[in-house]
């Protein structure tokens, strides 16, 4: 009973962090005048779970060699990641409005040499699983047991390199590699079912030999429980297929692909913030 | 007949000595262990040698992940499959974050193509690698220079591309010389010279040397510089010779667009413009054939070098 209460408190806190991330996402994109709001809103719960509960990281020592790693393979959703890094104390919140501006530490897509706490350069889709595998293997060579979490999109899995990495990760028994797929059903050009032929997704990962789970990617308890289960799988890489809603939390952005890349006006920002609880 | 010594074996021997000393060095192959005669190395360091199969993009990106987490990986496979198929991975995930990854590209040039034809003769790799910000580019002339290039590449902070050959590579340096990273190597200085020849890569220093012997008997004085490091280019030494000679010929087993010829033309036009003839592939693909015969057929023969020197001399005015 006590454990259950603690868990409820943790979940409540993480949901509150996810709301804050969503507010930061729409605010940053409004302030900077550029960015991808709806793909960032769909991963806010996953980012909150990782950065405010799961990861072994230290904002005072962002480069510590045994830290857990995160690779945001769908790098265009970086506003959610930047919000979490700032709110975890890797850099001041005052950096957030400078997103995508000249000389900002927050590049248009993640760049590891400029942003404290950021582990991987991404933005060109399809690369995260390979980067994550390299990080896992480097940990193994150096005797560290950290986990590497890779966040990919669903449309992104149309890239062949994802499957090259899927093969190699099984060959190298990369149990410390955990992929979270943000399955929001939409990609830049339209519906996942219609654009590239990647559906059905889960049987493909199963056929490659991965440990697979499918969850509601906006249910914090489900996210935590799936991550815990993935951590227990020792000799096999894991993927968590998280069913999400693109634009989640802002009603007029939800499942409306116009918001893949679009800047909210002042009025739209106010509406969005109000929907997110003010 | 020149003595042959494999640049691939020389590279692996250098890597062996690096791995012995530095536990951060790791190898990533793309079903290229056999190509690099590296089975013994893999046996010796099974925990630091990885083979991701015929998947060059993955090999490069895995190496980027490794280098982001404390290792110094070396990716070894065919030059073109690295620089063309995995070009974006090298550019965005290694060069952009300036990670310490060494790329070893086999089958550089038409002479390095093992009679396989155009699919396995890589004549664009140096140009592609040279355009990438933060990338150093080295094109060693033989096995000895390959060994030196690999040892020196491991001392660099950022990424390095090293072009090597087929495994049947003529020895030019029978005695060691003092290899200096980023410095032009003066093979022959005839001060003052009529023309300076800049050459890079396997097979060609021999040919330039023979051409110069012939030209000397006809009364022409020619200096020969071996440009093993194309980037950063030793602009000071190149400029000094351009100024003194007043005319230059470049010789490379590569398309003349983007490689040594372009690098020298860029340096010349910025420092000391002189008449220049660029020998190499003249915006064309080659074909299957034995290495020496291919070089003769595609404009890199000893007579071609002699003719180029005489022609450029006429334009000197």
Mutate: best of B57, B69, B90, partner A, most A CBs <10 A:
B69
Note the pLDDT tens digit of each residue in A165-222.
Answer: 999 999 999 999 999 999 999 999 999 999 999 999 999 999 999 999 999 999 999 9
Q: In the 8-state DSSP scheme, what is residue B186? A: E
Q: Using CB atoms within 10 Å of the CB of residue A265, give its burial: 0 to 12 exposed, 13 to 18 middle, 19+ buried.
A: exposed
> Which positions in chain B touch A71 (Cβ < 8 Å)?
65
Say whether A112 and B53 touch across the interface (CB within 8 A).
Answer: no
* Residue A1 pLDDT class (50, 70, 90 cuts): very low
Once rounded to an integer, what is the mean pLDDT over residues A243-265?
A: 98
pLDDT value of residue B1 = 55
Q: Give the integer Cα–Cα distance in Å for A72 and B91.
A: 18
How close A121 comes to chain B (CA, Å)? Answer: 6
Phi, psi of A36 (to 5 degrees): -115, 95
- Separate counts of helices (H) and strands (E) for chain B: 12, 12
**Contact partners, residue B198, CB within 8 Å, separation at least 6:** B184, B225, B227, B238, B248, B249, B250, B251, B260, B264
Q: What does CATH list as the number for B185-314?
A: 3.40.50.920
| B161 Cα to chain A: minimum distance (Å) | 20
Q: For residue range A98-136, what is the model confidence (pLDDT) as tens digits?
A: 999 999 999 999 999 999 999 999 999 999 999 999 999
pLDDT band at B114 (very low <50, low <70, confident <90, very high): confident
* Residue A6 pLDDT > 70: no
Q: Report chain B residues whose CB lies below 8 A from the CB of A172.
A: 50
Distance from C-alpha of B173 to C-alpha of B189, rounded to nearest angstrom: 17
Fill in the DSSP letter of residue B193.
Answer: P
Determine the pLDDT at residue A7. Answer: 86
Contact B73, A144 (CB under 8 A): no
Q: What is the DSSP letter of A103?
A: T
* Chain B residue nearest residue A136, CA to CA: B66
Whether residue B98 contacts residue A113, with contact meaning beta carbons closer than 8 Å, is answered with yes
Query: pLDDT at residue B32 above 50?
Result: yes
pLDDT score of B317 more than 80: no
pLDDT, average across residues B177-184: 96
CA angle A114, B24, B165 (to 5 degrees): 95
CA-closest candidate to residue A55, choices A148, A171, A191, A162 = A148
Q: Are residues A131 and B63, on separate chains, in Cβ contact within 8 Å? A: no
**pLDDT band, very low/low/confident/very high, at B113 (cuts 50, 70, 90):** confident
- Contact (CB, 8 A) for B268 and B274: yes
Q: Quick check: A80 pLDDT over 50?
A: yes
What average pLDDT does the segment A243-268 reach?
98
What is the Cβ-side half-sphere exposure of residue B118, based on CA atoms within 13 angstroms?
6
The whole-angstrom distance between B44's CA and the closest CA on chain A is 15
| Whether the predicted pLDDT of A5 surpasses 90 | no
Q: Return the H-helix or E-strand segment holding A8.
A: helix A2-32
Question: Rounded mean pLDDT of chain A?
Answer: 96
| Total structural domains within chain A | 1
| Whole-angstrom distance, CA of residue B291 vs CA of residue B116 | 11
Q: What share of chain A is helix, strand, coil (3-state, %, to 5)?
A: 50, 10, 40
Q: How confident is the model at residue A278 (pLDDT cuts 50, 70, 90)?
A: confident
- Whether B64 sits inside 8 A of A134 (CB atoms) is yes
Contact yes or no for A172 and B50 at CB 8 A: yes
Tell me whether residue A31 is exposed, middle or buried, using C-beta atoms within 10 angstroms of its C-beta: 0 to 12, 13 to 18, 19 or more.
middle
Interface test with A, best of B24, B27, B51, B62 (most A CBs within 10 A): B62
CB of A141 within 8 A of CB of B71?
Answer: yes
Q: pLDDT tens for residues A146-155?
A: 999 999 999 9
Give the mean pLDDT of A232-255: 98
Neighbours of A136 (CB within 10 A): 29
Domain boundaries, chain B: 7-163, 185-314
* Tokens 């634009």 found at: A247
Report, as an integer, the average pLDDT of B126-149. Answer: 98
The CATH number for A216's domain is 3.40.50.970
Look at residues B265, B233, B281 and name the one whose alpha carbon lies nearest to residue B109: B281
Taking each helix axis from N to C end, the angle separating B56-68 and A128-142, rounded to the nearest 10 degrees, works out to 50
Please report where in the chains the tokens 């000389």 appear, as a residue: A103
**What is the residue-averaged pLDDT of chain B?**
97
User: Per the CB < 8 Å rule, is A127 touching B93?
Assistant: yes
Query: In chain B, whose CA is at the least distance from the CA of A171?
Result: B52
Query: A83 Cβ partners below 8 Å, 6+ apart?
Result: A20, A21, A24, A25, A28, A47, A96
- When scoring B45, B51, B56, B61 by the number of chain A Cβ atoms within 10 A, the one with the most, hence best to mutate, is B61
With an 8 Å Cβ cutoff, the interface of chain B facing chain A consists of: 23, 26, 47-48, 50, 52-53, 55, 57-58, 61-71, 73, 88-89, 92-93, 96-98
**Which of B60, B123, B66, B127 minimizes the C-alpha distance to B92?**
B60
For residues A164 and B54, give the distance between their C-alpha atoms in angstroms, rounded to a whole number: 9
ipTM above 0.90 for this complex: yes
Query: How far B100 CA sits from the closest chain A CA (Å)?
Result: 13
User: Cβ distance B134 to B158 under 8 Å?
Assistant: yes
What is d(CA B22, CA B18) in angstroms, rounded to the nearest whole number? Answer: 6
C-alpha angle with apex B112: B58 to B53, nearest 5 degrees?
A: 20
Closest Cα in chain B, distance from residue A133 (Å)? 6
CATH of domain B7-163: 3.40.50.970
Contact call for residues B106 and B164 (beta carbons, < 8 A):
yes
* Residue in B with minimal Cα distance to A115: B97
**Which chain A residues are Cβ-neighbours of B100 within 8 angstroms?**
none
């Amino acid at each position: 009973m006590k454990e259950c209460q603690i868990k409820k408190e943790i979940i409540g806190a993480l949901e509150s962090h996810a709301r804050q991330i969503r507010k930061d996402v729409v605010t940053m994109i409004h302030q900077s005048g550029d960015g991808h709001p709806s793909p960032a809103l769909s991963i806010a719960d996953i980012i909150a779970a990782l950065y405010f509960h799961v990861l072994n990281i230290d904002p005072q020592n962002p480069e510590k060699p045994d830290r857990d790693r995160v690779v945001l393979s769908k790098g265009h959703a970086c506003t959610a990641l930047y919000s979490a890094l700032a709110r975890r104390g890797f850099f001041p919140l005052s950096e957030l409005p400078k997103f995508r501006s000249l000389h900002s530490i927050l590049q248009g897509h993640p760049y590891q040499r400029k942003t404290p706490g950021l582990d991987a350069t991404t933005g060109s889709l399809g690369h995260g699983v390979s980067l994550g595998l390299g990080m896992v293997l480097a940990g193994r060579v150096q005797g560290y047991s950290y986990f590497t979490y890779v966040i990919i999109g669903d449309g992104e899995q149309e890239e062949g390199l994802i499957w090259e990495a899927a093969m190699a990760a099984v060959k190298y028994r990369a149990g410390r590699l955990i992929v979270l797929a943000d399955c929001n059903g939409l990609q830049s050009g339209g519906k996942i079912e219609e654009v590239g032929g990647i559906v059905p997704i889960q049987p493909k990962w199963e056929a490659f030999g991965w440990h697979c789970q499918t969850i509601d990617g906006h249910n914090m308890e489900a996210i935590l429980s799936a991550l815990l289960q993935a951590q227990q799988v020792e000799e096999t890489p894991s993927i968590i297929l998280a069913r999400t809603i693109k634009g989640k939390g802002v009603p007029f952005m939800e499942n409306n692909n116009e918001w893949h890349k679009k800047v909210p006006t002042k009025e739209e920002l106010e509406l969005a913030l109000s929907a997110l609880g003010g | 007949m020149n003595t042959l010594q494999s640049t691939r074996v020389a590279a692996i021997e250098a890597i062996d000595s690096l791995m012995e000393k530095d536990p951060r060095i790791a190898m990533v192959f793309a079903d290229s262990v056999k190509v690099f005669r590296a089975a013994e190395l893999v046996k010796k360091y099974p925990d630091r040698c990885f083979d991701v199969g015929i998947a060059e993009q993955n090999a490069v990106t895995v190496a980027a992940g490794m280098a982001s987490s404390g290792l110094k990986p070396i990716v070894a496979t065919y030059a073109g499959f690295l620089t063309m198929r995995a070009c974006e991975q090298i550019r965005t995930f290694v060069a952009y974050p300036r990670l310490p990854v060494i790329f070893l590209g086999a089958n550089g040039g038409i002479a390095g193509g093992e009679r396989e034809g155009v699919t396995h003769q890589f004549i664009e790799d140096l140009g592609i690698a040279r355009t990438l910000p933060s990338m150093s580019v080295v094109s060693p002339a033989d096995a000895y220079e390959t060994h030196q290039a690999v040892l020196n590449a491991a001392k660099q902070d950022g990424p390095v591309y090293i072009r090597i050959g087929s495994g049947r590579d003529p020895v030019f340096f029978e005695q060691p010389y003092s290899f200096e990273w980023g410095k032009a190597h003066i093979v022959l200085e005839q001060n003052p010279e009529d023309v300076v020849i800049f050459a890079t890569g396997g097979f060609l220093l021999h040919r330039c040397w023979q051409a110069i012997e012939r030209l000397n008997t006809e009364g022409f004085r020619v200096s020969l510089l071996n440009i093993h490091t194309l980037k950063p280019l030793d602009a000071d030494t190149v400029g000094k010779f351009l100024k003194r000679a007043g005319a230059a010929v470049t010789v490379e087993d590569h398309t003349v667009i983007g490689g040594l010829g372009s690098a020298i033309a860029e340096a010349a036009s910025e420092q000391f413009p002189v008449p220049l003839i660029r020998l190499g592939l003249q915006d064309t693909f080659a074909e299957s054939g034995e290495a020496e015969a291919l070089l003769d057929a595609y404009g890199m023969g000893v007579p071609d070098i002699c003719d180029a020197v005489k022609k450029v001399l006429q334009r000197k005015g």
